[in-house]
Structure 1
Amino acid sequence: MVNQKTLADYCHQYLTVDKFDDYCPNGLQIQGKSDIKKIISGVSANQALIDRAIDEAADALFVHHGFFWKNEPPTLTGIKKNRIKALLDNNINLFAYHLPLDAHPTIGNNAQLATRFDIKNPTPIGDTLVWQGEINTTLANFSNTVKQALSRTPLVFGNDEKTLKRIAWCSGGAQTYIQHAININADCFLTGEVSEQIPAIALENNITFISAGHHATERYGVQALCQHLAQEFNLDHHFIDIDNSV
């Protein structure tokens, strides 16, 4: 068991939250009970995940996508009111970590993808959120590795027989970051989503592109964080995957 403030302070330091200028507040977003023993993790704080956390009598819910995003309406109405009311009524803490959970060098989404895709020498590209690493396989073989690792068929743009040696990637909706991959002469850029203009940009820059799923590429950071917290503070932890095809 751990005190809520102790847990929040630990995560703040462990994830170096102060380094990031984010689109939302990182940390404890909704305050619940003071003592925490059981934690649930998931990608996004939607009603389905909150309901599951309630069913499992969670003390805290950890997510990558929480509430209070920049430029969203500040009013507590509609589904936002319903979600927050459910947490408050059940005294469940909501912790949300966005960019700090993408960038962390070991438990972050990008680091976790490197492990699952067997990418060698993974490292960030400068001070960006995009990572680079080494593989030695064809686009077809690597796409199959991604499919098996994420249990989801990716969208693939490029020649299946092209040999990939340097790869760049960024979890989530980072398709507009493709220029970072082009700048380092990567053979492939992988992210979660694709936009209309991206296939042509990739083709004209002789780089292959994989859209592996926003949700699918961001399942693993929050799991790894909560597994770490469970070991550090002797907590019960359960990851709940609310399926999302995007």
Structure 2
Amino acid sequence: MLEADRFKDYGPNGLQVEGKREIHKIVTGVTASLALIDAAIEAQADAIIVHHGLFWRGQDGRITGWMKQRVAQLIRHDINLFAYHLPLDAQATLGNNAQWGLELGLVADARFGDQDLGFIGPVPDGLDLAGLAQRVTKKLGRTPVVVPGDGRALKRAAWCSGGAQGYFEGAIAAGVDVFLTGEISEPQAHYARETGVAFLACGHHASERYGIAAVGRHLHTTLGLQHAFLDIDNPA
């Protein structure tokens, strides 16, 4: 369903740590943190499925410190760890961008950016920048960083969850009026002011909670697995 082999990613997608052969209960969460692993143990899960796994390009490969603690807990309790990064962002119906968009009333009719990870769609009639920011605050439980554009009416929005601030230039080129992502870096404020396209940074973790939970619900519905989504708080 996630077509993991189709993506060039920053780490391995799929099974990262092997546990027991039979899976009856799964826990889903954003990141394979020790807190999530401990909570999954408490919930007596057979497998954990996350967006942010343990292994990333550029790591030195040693299982020490925090990595040792996480891996040791998984092995000690015979729990499988599955991770899906870019495949989860891009999935058309259950993915992060699709599900986050639905939370905000945005439905994509186009894609943009590297590997078509970015979504573009119409802004609901009558929704202005202040209203969109209020909707983000209500739905995600945090106040976004807003860099206003030139005050234009919002007709087309682009969005890409997580740390996709580098997609802003592509969104501008696609002709949208507002761009939403998880984080902001120094250049994006200037781009917003100079092009008139508004920018909202809504939280990396906050914007990526919805896809992994939707995958868990899908597995419950289609395979009958017990499922619990565990949201480990993260201010990022």
Residue 70 of structure 1 aligns to which amino acid in structure 2? R
Which one of 17, 20, 24 corresponds to residue 33 of structure 1? 20
Distance of aligned partners of 1:217 and 1:160 in 2 relative to their CA distance in 1, 3 Å threshold: farther
Which one of 121, 128, 133 corresponds to residue 143 of structure 1? 133
Residue 94 of structure 2 aligns to which amino acid in structure 1? I
Q: CA deviation at 1:113?
A: 1.3
Partner of 1:163: 153
SS for the counterpart of 1:145 is: helix
CA distance in 2, matches of 1:66, 1:24: 8
Deviations 1:3-47 (A, max 9, x none): xxxxxxxxxxx1111110110100010000000001000000011
CA distance in 2, matches of 1:104, 1:120: 13
Q: Which runs of 5+ in 2 are unaligned?
A: none
Partner of 1:218: 208
**Deviates most, 152-161 or 46-55:** 152-161
SS for the counterpart of 2:155 is: strand
Partner of 2:98: 111
User: Is 1:235–2:225 an aligned residue pair?
Assistant: yes
SS for the counterpart of 1:36 is: coil
User: Is 1:80–2:67 an aligned residue pair?
Assistant: yes
User: Is 1:178–2:165 an aligned residue pair?
Assistant: no
Q: CA deviation at 1:231?
A: 1.2
Residue 151 of structure 1 aligns to which amino acid in structure 2? G
TM-score by length of 1: 0.92
Contact 1:109 1:220 in 2 (8 A): yes
CA distance in 2, matches of 1:120, 1:26: 26
**Deviates most, 154-163 or 58-67:** 154-163
Q: CA deviation at 1:159?
A: 5.4
User: Is 1:130–2:118 an aligned residue pair?
Assistant: yes
Partner of 1:55: 42
SS for the counterpart of 2:12 is: coil
CA distance in 1, matches of 2:69, 2:86: 26
User: Is 1:66–2:53 an aligned residue pair?
Assistant: yes
Residue 66 of structure 1 aligns to which amino acid in structure 2? G
What percentage of residue pairs aligned between the two structures are identical? 48
Residue 194 of structure 1 aligns to which amino acid in structure 2? I
Q: Which runs of 5+ in 1 are unaligned?
A: 1-13
Pairs aligned (count):
233
CA distance in 2, matches of 1:82, 1:95: 17
Deviations 1:122-157 (A, max 9, x none): 432274211100013210001111111111111111
Contact 1:140 1:160 in 2 (8 A): no
Which one of 180, 195, 209 corresponds to residue 205 of structure 1? 195
Partner of 1:10: none
